Structures are given as structure tokens and as C-alpha cells.
Amino acid sequence: MTTSTASPWAPAPAADLRLRGRTFGPDRPLVMAVVNRTPDSFYPAARHDAAGADAAVARAVEEGAEIVDLGGVRAGRGPRVEVAEEIERVVPLVERVRSRHPDLLVSVDTWRAEVGRAAARAGADLLNDTWAGHDPGLMEVAAEHGLGVVCSHTGGSRPRTDPLRVAYPARPGLDPLDGVVDDVVSTLRRAAERAVTLGIDPASVLVDPTHDFGKNTWHSLHLVRRTEAVVALGFPTLMAFSRKDFVGETLGLPVEDRLEGTLAATSVAAWLGARVFRAHDVLATRRTLDMVAAIRGDLAPARAVRGLA
């Protein structure tokens, strides 16, 4: 008879992440800094012109971000942005970041294959498709250029739309909210498998349950507590909580006061095995993730002399 020595309290194992030939293990969850070249981002502090975006990237690097996510179109409703305008906003920024910060991983937040192709040629490492394959050609661009890709879940919502009375029926005998978990897991599995079939390295395929997109606040909260179901897919898990509406609605707070709630969700998801965290507040997120990694036993303390000297 074999006796297991595994701790019953052991946190979930986390998948390795590989981008641009660099492999990141579980000892250091990654911060993906949000830098938007948009005049109408939902968070005013994230609205940047070209010079402001350059400064924001430099600050993110200084504060410990390993990845920067560059976007040219607000996720929610707003004035239409044509493909050419999105490219004009994002691609020169990709080129400047690649030149000025050669060790920084560059992600581009877009759902359009044309934008993804231009970004790939400019030096991007990852295409963050936050609209769940609305343009199936975007994943093909990632495969063609050897980039990573983010697979997301929106419950069938079209780009730049808000959810309205969305419902995910659960299987009999389950928590009613587990319907959204089932839908997220099945959608992400199909998308990730397609990415691998196209030739993308599995360690470069990120899965994101995409809180708030096609979901109400109850759905998003439940997905945080069920992070392990997404981690169990075996791909690096991305969480994009930063200052979102589910945090604000839970605490009754406007966007400028949602940092603590964001960090609470970050801590839970990091403990449960999520690997990459898209964040507006890089330094606070970096410190939170390092503390969680040390508690998990994945990272040694920076200094440990108490009781020893």
C-alpha cells in the first residue's frame, strides 16, 4: 500500500508560460500592465496619448511588469474605431516599446486579425483576443507569426457590447452558478485546442474566463472562487480583474476606489493557480503576487532573519 505524502492543503499546480522563447515557472506570477491608447477608457487614469503611453510603459517596467498589454479600442460601448485608426494608435507604440524595452513582453489587446497582423510585424509577442474568437482569423495570425494567444469567454457577446440578463443553466445537482463555470471551461477548452491544432505552443496559449464580459456580478464572483476549474485545463491562466464593475458593484465603489477589491480577487486567484494578472496598478499587484507566491511556497522571502539572528 502506498501512502501519499502530498499535503491536503496544497494549492493547485500552475502551468508554465512560454513567450518569445522564455519560460516562466510558478515561482513568479506575471503582471500584465494595461496601457491604453484610447481617449475613453473606462478608467480615466488609463487614457493615454502617445507620449503618455510611452511614460506609462516605462513606469510599468520600473514597477515590475513582465508584460505590457497595449490597446487601441475601449472594450465597452463608445465611438466606432475603424481598423486603420486602431492600427495607427497601437502599432507605432508596439514598435517603440520593442525598441526601448527589449526584455519586455508585448501583448496587443484586439479582436481584429488585421490589427493582429500589423502588431505581429511590429514585434508583438502575444495577441489578447478579449472577444472570444469573434474574428477567427486572429488566432491564425498568432499561429502564422509564432505568437502566443489569449483565449477568452464572452458568452457569445459581440465586441463592444454590454451583457443584459445573461443566464447559464447549471446541470442538475450543481450550484446554480456552476452553469457559467461549465460554459467558460468548455468554451476555453475548445479555443485552446484549436490554437494547439494550428501549431501554437500550448505553453503560449493563455485562457481567460473574462470576468464581466457576458456575465453579471454573481457570475464573475463565482468564477473567482472556482478559479481551479480554469487552471485544471492545463494552460496558463490569465485573470483580468483590474477595477472592473463586478468589484465596484460588490463593494459599492466607483472605479477610482476599486484597488483593494481588485487585490483581494487577485490574491484568491493567485493562490488557486492563476499565472498572469492584467492590471492598471502594477506595483501593488506585483507585491500582492509575490506575497501570495511566498505563502504558496513557490517563492522564497526576499529577506528572512527574524528569529535567526
pLDDT, the chain, mean: 94
3-state helix, strand, coil in the chain (%, to 5): 40, 15, 45
In a domain, 200, yes or no: yes
Question: What's the confidence (pLDDT) of residue 1?
Answer: 43
Question: What's the confidence (pLDDT) of residue 5?
Answer: 53
Contacts with 123 (C-beta within 8 Å, 6 or more apart), sequence order: 94, 95, 97, 98, 106
Q: What digits encode the pLDDT tens for the residues 37-93?
A: 988 888 988 889 999 999 999 999 999 999 999 999 988 888 889 999 999 999 999
- Rounded Cα–Cα distance for residues 267 and 247 (Å): 14
- Rounded Cα–Cα distance for residues 262 and 233 (Å): 24
Q: What digits encode the pLDDT tens for the residues 187-217?
A: 999 999 999 999 999 999 999 999 999 999 9
Q: Could you tell me if 250 and 262 are in contact, meaning their C-beta atoms sit under 8 angstroms apart?
A: no
Q: Give residue 34's identity as a one-letter amino acid code.
A: V
- Rounded Cα–Cα distance for residues 307 and 309 (Å): 6
Contacts with 243 (C-beta within 8 Å, 6 or more apart), sequence order: 42, 43, 255, 258, 259, 262, 280
In a domain, 10, yes or no: no
In a domain, 196, yes or no: yes
In a domain, 309, yes or no: no
Whether this model's pTM surpasses 0.75 = yes
- Which is it for the CA torsion 65, 161, 148, 10, positive or negative? positive
> Count of CB atoms within 10 A of residue 94's CB?
23
Report, as an integer, the average pLDDT of 165-173: 92
In a domain, 131, yes or no: yes
Q: Could you tell me if 74 and 42 are in contact, meaning their C-beta atoms sit under 8 angstroms apart?
A: yes
Report, as an integer, the average pLDDT of 158-166: 86
In a domain, 98, yes or no: yes
In a domain, 127, yes or no: yes
pLDDT above 90 covers a percentage of the chain that reads 85
Question: What's the confidence (pLDDT) of residue 46?
Answer: 87
User: For the chain, where are the alpha helices, taking DSSP H only?
Assistant: 50-63, 83-100, 113-122, 137-145, 178-197, 217-225, 227-231, 245-251, 259-271, 282-296
In a domain, 43, yes or no: yes
> Count of CB atoms within 10 A of residue 51's CB?
8
Q: Give residue 254's identity as a one-letter amino acid code.
A: P
Q: Could you tell me if 273 and 14 are in contact, meaning their C-beta atoms sit under 8 angstroms apart?
A: yes
Residue 237: what are its φ and ψ, rounded to 5°?
-100, 125
- Which is it for the CA torsion 101, 102, 103, 107, positive or negative? positive
Q: Could you tell me if 53 and 138 are in contact, meaning their C-beta atoms sit under 8 angstroms apart?
A: no
Q: Give residue 73's identity as a one-letter amino acid code.
A: V
Is the per-residue pLDDT at 14 higher than 90? Answer: no
Tell me how many domains the chain contains: 1
What is the extent of the structural domain holding 252?
25-296
Is the per-residue pLDDT at 288 higher than 60? Answer: yes
Q: Could you tell me if 251 and 5 are in contact, meaning their C-beta atoms sit under 8 angstroms apart?
A: no
Q: Which of 216, 89, 198 is nearest to 148 (CA)?
A: 198
Question: What's the confidence (pLDDT) of residue 216?
Answer: 97
Half-sphere exposure (Cβ direction) of 187: Cα atoms closer than 13 Å: 24
Q: What is the CATH number of the domain that holds 130?
A: 3.20.20.20
Report, as an integer, the average pLDDT of 22-38: 93
Q: What digits encode the pLDDT tens for the residues 98-157?
A: 999 999 999 999 999 999 999 999 999 999 999 999 999 999 999 999 999 999 999 988
